[in-house]
Structure 1
Amino acid sequence: MNKVFLGIVIAGLPLSVAGTLLHWSSTILFVVYCVTIIALASFMGRATESLAIVTGPRIGGLLNATFGNAVELIIAIFALKEGLIGVVLASLTGSVLGNLLLVAGLSFFIGGLKFKRQVFNVYDARHNSGLLIFAVIVAFVIPEIFSMSLNEERTMTFSIGISIILILLYLAALFFKLVTHRGVYQAGTKGASHTEEETPEWGKGKAIGVLALSTLAVAYVSENLVHTFEAVGDTFGWSELFIGVIIVAIVGNAAEHASAIIMAVKNKMDVAVEIAIGSTLQVAMFVAPVLVLVSLFFPVSMPLVFTIPELVTMVSAVLLMVVISNDGESNWFEGAILLAAYLIIGIGFYLL
């Protein structure tokens, strides 16, 4: 599979450049760009997995989520530059739904087919549950409610204030987890068979180099991908909402999808859960606020105000994930529940 992705990158990057210069069909370019980004994301996933072996599950999961979200952040910034506010907000929604329902669901399901019962750190799960409820239900729903009574300028001011608070709290959460309370809550992971020694695929230097080069390549391809959204949406009858929630989110989070499933198959559920939930928290508490602040430098600013379907589906995903993960255990049936929820929501956004 690694050779396949390498072949796709070797072919995809020149095709992306040629197609852009020769003005190929938007549909063909859309497919080439998406496949190339997914292949590049696989290299980002392998590099962060190598770093995770050296740094441990928490930092490894954080690294994977960070570089995985870097792809989406790059795509979103170029979309903001084009004034595609709806696509950006939809892609943020898609990230939350994709990580909590699709990534976690596939991890629980596929891992559960191999192991009847998988466990992960119950204290981390409960800590993350509180943050999820705050980040999505409090920080996303409240701006929507207040925006009904505020004018556009005040809504944007409110969004800026919330964004700054979210970023500061996210940094405080990292400081809490990685510094002041690192190693304090270790119970709850008994039974997980990941005490064996592992050798990273790549050394630290090579892994960081691959991450840097992959990120640069993704930046180039992503900028061109954004220009195909409108034409592809018209061709297939896809709404701006569907493109953002499903297509951009899946492409942008390809690295996390692959890595979380691989970790679950290896019964490393601490890493798999950290990738799925940690990535969601990073999107809600860092990526989204950063995009709000970045949008101030473009002609059209982006308030932190989602549509009602986006909010309802995100809140539903958070509550479902909190209930399922709070016991620190998973199995294939819980994965099936999460996947079923994602399919139902996906059909709804397609029809919408």
Structure 2
Amino acid sequence: MFNKLFFIVVALGLPLSIIGSFMHWPSAIMFGVYCITIIGLAAYMGRATESLAIVAGPRIGGLLNATFGNAVELIISIFALKEGLIGVVLASLTGSVLGNLLLVAGLSFFVGGLKYKRQEFNVYDARHNSGLLMFAVIVAFVIPEVFAITMDEQKTLSLSIGISIILIVLYLATLLFKLITHRGVYKHNTDEVEDHETPEWSAKIAITVLLLATVAVAYVSENLVHTFETVAHQFGWSELFIGVIIVAIVGNAAEHASAIIMAYKNKMNIAVEIAVGSTLQIAMFVAPLLVLISLMFTTQMPLVFTLPELVSMVTAVLLTISITNDGDTNWFEGTVLLAAYIIMGIGFYLL
């Protein structure tokens, strides 16, 4: 049923996006069309990566879901940087961290917990990811804010560039550690048993769908960015709210759906890898990459967030670590994460 729904969304949304952009339809209408179309395209990206995940295994599958899920937001952010919307980009990065750790993980734990009393996942991966989350969000994001107080803009940007390079190198080292040098070293007796599930699409078809969907998302995203200012003025939304809530949810729709589906199937290793792995990829790769990409545009983006953004991200990290460090979860813990996300969402809306 959902596959047919998303097909209809893409079949109608993509032509309407093209026609509306050429006919200059009202921004408020096109904002909705663009968002729905991107979610439909993201669903196809999610199905394609799920097919590849069945072949590649939970770790690589989770990495693929996180990567192509974040590709949508990366594309949106690059066009926003081009337009000089630094606040929206930083807010969308904040929204991705909050969305993945609280909304995606919360929904996954809640939905899976309704079907299974207790769900377990690899505790060694959870503890390894906890340290990386502490470093990526609390150290790499808080330090620039602290030092920026006594620095001018140029020095703050130089500090951000240095931190960005270190983060990217460390992220690549993380992939080397997980996928090559220590692959399979830290096993857990709850690792999911292969059930020889048949992928929906072959590898060639899945890759083709991913490429076509990515191109379509790039086109729609560029048009979506142009509607931000008008929509914000009409609805009374701040750039912070658009970035933290709207862009983050739309940009991460693919991995949201994939993680929840995996949790419902009791494949918690993949679900957790998508939620936490995507957060690490945002903090250690996408955010620093955007800092470096911004150097090519008129307005550069330092890695300096507002105080509400920092406090929210740090709180989300600490809460997620405390819940996932034991290697198992249930529906109530998912509810706690969702409650935290709703509280923060209300706060950003009222700012």
Query: In which range does the TM-score fall when normalised by the shorter chain?
Result: over 0.9
2:317 alignment partner in structure 1:
318
CA distance in 2, matches of 1:130, 1:55: 26
**8 Å contact kept, 1:188–1:328:** no
What's the Cα RMSD here? 0.6
**Taking every aligned residue pair, what percent have the same amino acid on both sides?**
75
1:271 alignment partner in structure 2:
270
| 1:124-160 CA-partner distances (Å, limit 9, x unpaired) | 0000000000000000000000000110000000000
CA distance in 2, matches of 1:187, 1:125: 11
Letter in 2 for 1:22: M
1:216 alignment partner in structure 2:
215
- Secondary structure, aligned partner of 1:5: helix
1:300 alignment partner in structure 2:
299
Do structure 1's residue 17 and structure 2's residue 21 form an aligned pair? no
| 1:89-124 CA-partner distances (Å, limit 9, x unpaired) | 000000000000000000000000000000000000
1:255 alignment partner in structure 2:
254
| 1:252-287 CA-partner distances (Å, limit 9, x unpaired) | 000000000000000000000000000000000000
Letter in 1 for 2:145: E
2:238 alignment partner in structure 1:
239
2:79 alignment partner in structure 1:
78
- Please give the residue correspondences for 1:146-185 in structure 2 after superposition, counting only pairs within 5 Å: 146-185=147-186
Tell me, which stretches of 5 or more residues in structure 2 are unaligned? none
CA distance in 2, matches of 1:51, 1:180: 22
Letter in 2 for 1:204: A
| 1:40-83 CA-partner distances (Å, limit 9, x unpaired) | 00000000000000000000000000000000000000000000
1:88 alignment partner in structure 2:
89
2:66 alignment partner in structure 1:
65
CA distance in 2, matches of 1:163, 1:77: 16
- Secondary structure, aligned partner of 1:76: helix
1:127 alignment partner in structure 2:
128
Do structure 1's residue 341 and structure 2's residue 340 form an aligned pair? yes
| 1:183-223 CA-partner distances (Å, limit 9, x unpaired) | 00011525x5x432100000000000000000000000000
CA distance in 1, matches of 2:16, 2:10: 10
| 1:230-270 CA-partner distances (Å, limit 9, x unpaired) | 11111111100000000000000000000000000000000
Letter in 1 for 2:46: G
Letter in 2 for 1:331: N
**8 Å contact kept, 1:123–1:188:** no
Letter in 2 for 1:183: G
CA distance in 2, matches of 1:230, 1:109: 35
- Secondary structure, aligned partner of 1:224: helix
**8 Å contact kept, 1:122–1:189:** no
Tell me, which stretches of 5 or more residues in structure 1 are unaligned? none
Letter in 2 for 1:24: W
CA distance in 2, matches of 1:116, 1:235: 46
**8 Å contact kept, 1:260–1:272:** yes
Aligned residues: 350
CA distance in 2, matches of 1:54, 1:231: 44
CA distance in 2, matches of 1:10, 1:244: 27
Give the TM-score taking structure 1 as reference length: 0.99
Do structure 1's residue 44 and structure 2's residue 45 form an aligned pair? yes
- Please give the residue correspondences for 1:127-146 in structure 2 after superposition, counting only pairs within 5 Å: 127-146=128-147
CA distance in 2, matches of 1:65, 1:209: 18
